Amino acid sequence: MADRPTVAVIGAGFSGVLTSVRLLLEPMGPRVLLIERGPRFGRGAAYSSASPHHLLNVRATNMSAFVEQPSHFIEWLGRTGSPDQGQAFVTRDRYGQYLQSILRRAAGQETGAARLVLEHDEVRTLARDGEGWRLELGVGRSLFADIVILALGNLPPPPQDGVDEDVLSSPRYAADPWAWDPASAPADGDFLLLGAGLTAVDVTLSIQEARAGARVLALSRHGLSPRPHIDAIPAAGPADFAPSGTPARVLRQVRAAAQTDWRRVIDALRPHVHTLWRGWSLAEKQRFLRHLRPWWDVYRHRLAPPVAARIADLRARGLFEVAAGRLRRLRADAQGVWATWAPRGGGPPIERRFAAVINCGGPRADLSRSGDALIQSLADAGLARPDDCRLGLDVDARSRVIGAEGLANDALFAIGPIARGHLFEITSVPDIRIQAADCASAVLNLLALRARRVGPVADPAAGLVADLAAFLGQSVDELDVELASLKFTRRVRNAWELRGRRAAFDEIALWLETRRGRGKGGS
């Protein structure tokens, strides 16, 4: 036990818990130090709410934590008093209980026993210490780990432009919707939500619980609201649907296929999202984010039918309204907060007074302005950098964090929404559970290599030819000659370090194939 290496997992939401569990399930795996600053392990931002109105936005049947055991969650529901819930949208509180039970079980069984250490604190800085890491905690203690996995979730939404200083410091303004306590809501007056997506829906339901009959206005640039799931079990998507090409081309293919039921087509698109995203150039990704993302978000991340019905009822009663426009200013006086916005499509600015304003914008995209101590320490030390689209931390195909110099760090990983720049759709359970399993196996491989004192980092090209030959089913000698003539050792090393071994192999295989094809054609 004393000889086992230590892997520190920072953040105990779904991503951190699942990666820890995967490591604990491996009999020869490491000691796991799971560190969480929030009040409870296994809850995170998504599954902390105890409200019966806060439901999963994915059917129970798709929420198993283990991709290889699709009915794991449904079976757990059945064993714990909620049978036949496969097509239901159960409460997020229930899902939090499920995650906690998985963690308890992994820690309690023989392989995981005495290997899980729970630390209730915030990691404020991370610095290299020999081959490992020194983690400074909020209370001033420090811990050592051989490998670190960042599972930090979403950063809070960015500050909105035009908000006066006195509003920012006022109790009538909540910069972070997850840190806002609805019980602190003013006793009268209307609420303004900045943003109209799933977070705004959540906050609206919480406001109604705390102050039934309160009026809520959600303001967003496009005025789009999340679409509802349908009650019926969705039909399978079109069998031959395999979109490809630029964002505009994909949009045309989706529109053409969505003549009958758009939900089937959006669901059928999901398995292709990672490939499409990785295949797009930076300019294409930026075009998608600018023009299509607001639409993608509302069609892809849908409301559970009971939630949609409740929102429709609030709308019908004049208690919930969505406005399209751009916020110009928020200023405070003794009566409340005055908001001014320019309506979308033109017209004179609108000014209205609210009792409280809650920022429900998307997660903070620009890490350099995150204000998070840990992120800041990583950026200052050059250990991490934002991805090209500024959606989060830059990582490679193996979830290794890429530093300021463009090289992936072998012993620092990041998973979940914080790493969404690499795959884009890595915000919900069906995606993260795969990433968590992959990340855990990359960590276990690295530890195995270290234990055998085989250094994959010192020279990634060493041994590569043998691996590549096995991958291509060719003899080492043959391949060696071919590679030497192509002179691409540096290229191989770069591909390996930046995008991971598998990606490097795929790329090289394709390249060799093209060269050989040309050779055969006599060109």
Q: Which residues bind ligand FAD (CB under 6 A)?
A: 10-16, 35-38, 44-46, 56-58, 122-123, 151-154, 202, 374, 416-417, 427-429, 432
Handedness of CA 205, 209, 210, 211 (dihedral sign): positive
Q: Which is nearer to ligand FAD, 8 or 254 (CB)?
A: 8
Q: Which is nearer to ligand FAD, 118 or 472 (CB)?
A: 118
Q: Which is nearer to ligand FAD, 372 or 396 (CB)?
A: 372
Taking a C-beta distance cutoff of 8 angstroms, is the pair 203, 176 a contact?
no
Least distance (Å) between residue 152 CB and ligand FAD: 4
Q: Which is nearer to ligand FAD, 16 or 421 (CB)?
A: 16
Q: Which is nearer to ligand FAD, 300 or 450 (CB)?
A: 300
Q: Assign residue 329 a region: left if phi > 0, alpha if psi is -120 to 50, beta otherwise?
A: beta
Q: Which is nearer to ligand FAD, 94 or 172 (CB)?
A: 94
Cα–Cα distance for residue pair 194/225, rounded to 1 Å: 13
Q: Which tokens hold the place of 269?
A: 């698109």
Least distance (Å) between residue 49 CB and ligand FAD: 7
**What ranges in 67-132 are assigned the alpha helix state H?**
72-79, 92-108
Strands 408-414 and 400-402: antiparallel
Whose tokens are 């039970």? That residue is 101
Q: Which is nearer to ligand FAD, 63 or 408 (CB)?
A: 63
Taking a C-beta distance cutoff of 8 angstroms, is the pair 428, 58 a contact?
yes
Cα–Cα distance for residue pair 272/352, rounded to 1 Å: 44
Cα–Cα distance for residue pair 446/468, rounded to 1 Å: 19
Residues 6+ apart with CB under 8 A from 348: none
Three-class secondary structure of residue 232 per DSSP: coil
Least distance (Å) between residue 92 CB and ligand FAD: 6
Least distance (Å) between residue 274 CB and ligand FAD: 16
Least distance (Å) between residue 157 CB and ligand FAD: 11
Cα–Cα distance for residue pair 181/178, rounded to 1 Å: 8
Least distance (Å) between residue 138 CB and ligand FAD: 8
Q: Which is nearer to ligand FAD, 146 or 202 (CB)?
A: 202
Report the 3 state secondary structure along 148-196.
Answer: EEECCCCCCCCCCCCECHHHHCCCCEECCCCCCCHHHCCCCCCEEEECC
Q: Which is nearer to ligand FAD, 1 or 179 (CB)?
A: 179
Least distance (Å) between residue 205 CB and ligand FAD: 11
Least distance (Å) between residue 209 CB and ligand FAD: 15
Q: φ, ψ for residue 338 (rounded to 5)?
A: -95, 125
Q: Which is nearer to ligand FAD, 274 or 352 (CB)?
A: 274
Least distance (Å) between residue 316 CB and ligand FAD: 25
Q: Which is nearer to ligand FAD, 202 or 284 (CB)?
A: 202
**What ranges in 346-424 are assigned the alpha helix state H?**
373-380, 420-423
Taking a C-beta distance cutoff of 8 angstroms, is the pair 404, 385 a contact?
yes
Q: Which tokens hold the place of 346?
A: 């033109």
Q: What separation in angstroms does the CA of 292 have from each of 241, 295, 359?
A: 20, 5, 22
At position 81, the amino acid (one-letter code) is G
Least distance (Å) between residue 141 CB and ligand FAD: 13
Q: What separation in angstroms does the CA of 478 have from each of 15, 472, 489, 514?
A: 43, 11, 16, 17
Least distance (Å) between residue 379 CB and ligand FAD: 14
Q: Which is nearer to ligand FAD, 325 or 421 (CB)?
A: 421
Least distance (Å) between residue 436 CB and ligand FAD: 9
**Helices 293-300 and 262-279 sit at what angle, rounded to 10 degrees?**
130
Q: Which is nearer to ligand FAD, 304 or 495 (CB)?
A: 304
Least distance (Å) between residue 44 CB and ligand FAD: 2
Cα–Cα distance for residue pair 506/67, rounded to 1 Å: 24
The distance from CA 348 to its chain's CA centroid, rounded to whole angstroms, is 38
Strands 173-174 and 350-354: unpaired
Q: Which tokens hold the place of 311?
A: 């929102």
